[in-house]
Amino acid sequence: MRTDGNLPVGPLMFWSAVGLALLHTGARPAITNDLHIYLAQGRWMVENAALLEQEVFTWTAQGEPYINATWGYCVGGWLLHQLGGLDLLRVFNGLMVAGAVGFIGAAARARGADGRAAALAALYAWGLMFQNTVIRGQTWVFPVFAALVWLSARPRPWWLALGGGAAAGVLWNALHGSFPAGIVWAGALAVGAALESPPAGEPGPPARWRAATTPALIGLGLALGACVGPYGPAIWLYVFEDSALSRSRNVGEWLPPDITHFEGARFYAALGLWALLLAKDGLARTRRVPWADLLVVLGFGYLATTGTRFVAWFALASAAPLAARLSATMSAERGFPARLMRPLYGLFAAMWALFVVKGLSPREAGPDDGGTPAVLVDALAADADGGRLLGAPEYGGYVSYRLWPGWLHSGDIRVWVFDDAAWSIYLEASRAGPGWEALLEEHGVTHILTWAPFHGETLQAAADASPRWEKLAETENGAAFRRESR
């Protein structure tokens, strides 16, 4: 606490960063391919009071058993949607990201970082995360991971570290299958702490072991907690199989960040910042970055180079170490006179309250808000009470949400549900090569829903040119067709 009558600027910066994260995330539109299939699953589970473990929404994988690793997110999302629609989901999602940013700032402060450095770390985390902040289970576990970062920021009683990790594992397991990221992070912290030189006058191994205890217990608790759920330890097999399948099918978020795109440029800029800081330490023949922080930055930095989905985890894992590194080079904050800062705090509080209320207020979605093919699906619903639809996985969830059970889609973004044979039907038809119409007739397809970026010059053009397919509607995102001989 300051005794010279001045107030620090760090808290003002920090709460502005939290407000920015809340405003940006909460105001984003709902993206079809990341939300509606989970809402459809959540609705089914709530209405049937059972865990959905067999495919019901598609004709290519009808009856296929699968592990529903996001069951908690599906049910929670549907219940929130029932209470307040997409608007409540947007606000809740914003609170999840803002909470993650807040925990990161708190973790930096718990490590003794300057308030300004903690605020910059919070802003850094949000700036790298925001391409991964649509409404989805992964976003809902960001604050869980960030809370563990805060928990590990200082030595904790064994029961708190183990219990906190276990509680996080149970929750993480129910919402999203990315919990191995937390275990890797905790392991890196524990190993790094064990490599650290002991304080002067203390024997080496015991001091190192004590420093490694908190992250090691968090990691152990997380690993045990992740096994508490309807699938037990089998959830681990699902996670690794799904990861391999997503990579083999070139799902976008599993591809390396593209430096020519904004999200890739931000990530590589962050890597450049870390390279500069580490090089500066090397030239000065000092190592201010502890081993634990170094292993986390290098390990999660490498993971992020292999897939865009890991950029958010890199952001959350490396933000508190960045705050500590920045704080070490900052002079002590002198602050500003209280007579100036108190009105400034009030002004910023009023400004952010206005921005957040205005940005998160309910709004009427447009006909294709977030790329949702509402116009095209309306045309399908008006044409028939049901049918077999072939369309892009990006649209499959919305079709299931709107038209099931009368309509069955060819697939959606849940790649783990569809085996190679089911997946190949869509790919082969999308190419619109010789025999594409016979292939659709063989599988009883009555309608087509195209996605312009992928089908514009192939399937959509072929259906346009064929006398056997009638166009029902078209937008800039795609078109809907029906087969005349159905």
Residues 309-318 have pLDDT tens digits of: 899 999 999 9
pLDDT (mean) for 440-454: 93
Q: What percent of the chain is modeled with pLDDT above 70? A: 90
- pLDDT reading at 365 higher than 60: no
- Res 406 pLDDT > 60: yes
Helix (H) or strand (E) holding 119: helix 115-129
Whether residue 156 lies inside any domain: the answer is yes
Give the pLDDT confidence score for residue 205 in this predicted structure: 60
- Please report the pLDDT score of residue 254 as a whole number: 67
For residue 292, give its domain range: 6-350
Average pLDDT, integer, range 376-398: 94
Domain count, the chain: 2
Q: Give me 293's structure tokens.
A: 């922080």
Secondary structure of residue 171 in the 3-state scheme: helix
Last residue of a domain, one of 350, 381, 413: 350
pLDDT (tens digit per residue) in 316-334: 999 999 999 998 888 877 7
Q: Which pLDDT belongs to residue 207?
A: 60
The tens digit of pLDDT for each residue in 202-215 reads 555 666 677 799 99
Residues paired with 408 in a beta bridge: 388
Q: What's the whole-number average pLDDT of the chain?
A: 88
pLDDT at 1 over 60: no
Task: Report the candidate in 263, 166, 152 with the shortest Cα–Cα distance to residue 213.
Answer: 152
Least confident of 22-36, 157-171, 220-234: 22-36
Do both 322 and 469 map to the same domain?
A: no
Is position 359 within any domain?
A: no
The reported pLDDT for the residue numbered 434 is: 93
Give 467's contacts (C-beta < 8 A, 6+ positions apart): 484
Do 384 and 342 share a structural domain?
Answer: no
Residues 301 and 442 reside in one and the same domain: no
Task: Point out the domain boundary residue: 317, 350, 383.
Answer: 350
- Same domain as 214, residue 111: yes
Same domain, 442 and 341: no
309 DSSP 8-state letter: G
Least confident of 364-368, 376-380, 407-411, 423-427: 364-368
Instruction: Give the rounded percent of residues in the chain with a pLDDT score beyond 90.
Output: 61
Is residue 361 a part of any domain in this protein? no
Strand residue runs (E) in 295-454:
336-337, 387-391, 407-409, 447-449
* Contact present, 190 and 216 (Cβ < 8 Å): yes
Q: Are residues 335 and 377 in the same domain?
A: no
Q: What is the DSSP letter of 29?
A: P
357 lies in a domain? no
pLDDT one-digit tens code per residue, 89-133? 999 999 999 999 999 999 999 999 999 999 999 999 999 998 788
Are residues 312 and 376 part of one domain? no
Q: What Cα–Cα distance (Å) separates residue 82 from each residue in 35, 78, 79, 465? A: 14, 6, 5, 43
Query: Which among 324, 273, 309 has a CA at the least distance from the CA of 152?
Result: 324
Count of other CB atoms within 10 angstroms of residue 240: 11
- Indicate whether 260 and 148 sit together in one domain: yes
Q: Which residues contact 438 (CB under 8 A, 6 or more apart)?
A: none
Indicate whether 358 belongs to any domain.
Answer: no
Q: What is the mean pLDDT of the segment spanning 266-287?
A: 83
| Least confident interval from 144-153, 237-246, 475-484 | 237-246
pLDDT band, very low/low/confident/very high, at 465 (cuts 50, 70, 90): very high
Q: If you average pLDDT over residues 62-71, what whole number do you get?
A: 92
Q: Of 28-37, 358-367, 399-408, which gets the smallest average pLDDT?
A: 358-367
Res. 2 pLDDT band, cuts 50 70 90: very low
Same-domain status, 33 and 137:
yes
In a shared domain, residues 158 and 246: yes
* 279 pLDDT higher than 50: yes
Residue 156 CA to residue 187 CA, distance in Å, equals: 16
pLDDT surpasses 50 at 181: yes
Pairing mode, strands 387-391 and 407-409: parallel
Under the banding of pLDDT at 50, 70 and 90, the label for residue 459 is: very high
What one-character DSSP code corresponds to residue 111?
T
Query: Does one domain contain both 281 and 406?
Result: no
Task: Render pLDDT for 366-386 as a digit per residue (tens, 0 to 9).
Answer: 444 556 888 999 999 999 999
Residue 415 buriedness (CB in 10 A; 0-12 / 13-18 / 19+)? middle
What residue has token string 């959350």? 316
Mean pLDDT of 164-187: 94
Q: What is the pLDDT of residue 308?
A: 85
> 3-state class of 8 per DSSP?
coil
**pLDDT higher at 484 or 384:** 384
Q: Are residues 207 and 327 in the same domain?
A: yes
Residue 336's pLDDT band, with cuts at 50, 70 and 90, is confident
Here the contacts of 191-195 (C-beta below 8 Å, separation 24 or greater) are: 191/291, 191/292, 191/295, 192/290, 192/291, 192/292, 192/293, 192/294, 192/295, 192/296, 193/290, 193/291, 193/292, 195/291
Determine, yes or no, domain membership for 364: no
pLDDT of residue 245: 60
| Nearest-10 crossing angle of helices 262-283, 311-327 | 40
Q: What's the pLDDT score for residue 367?
A: 46
Which of residues 286, 321, 350 is at a domain's end?
350
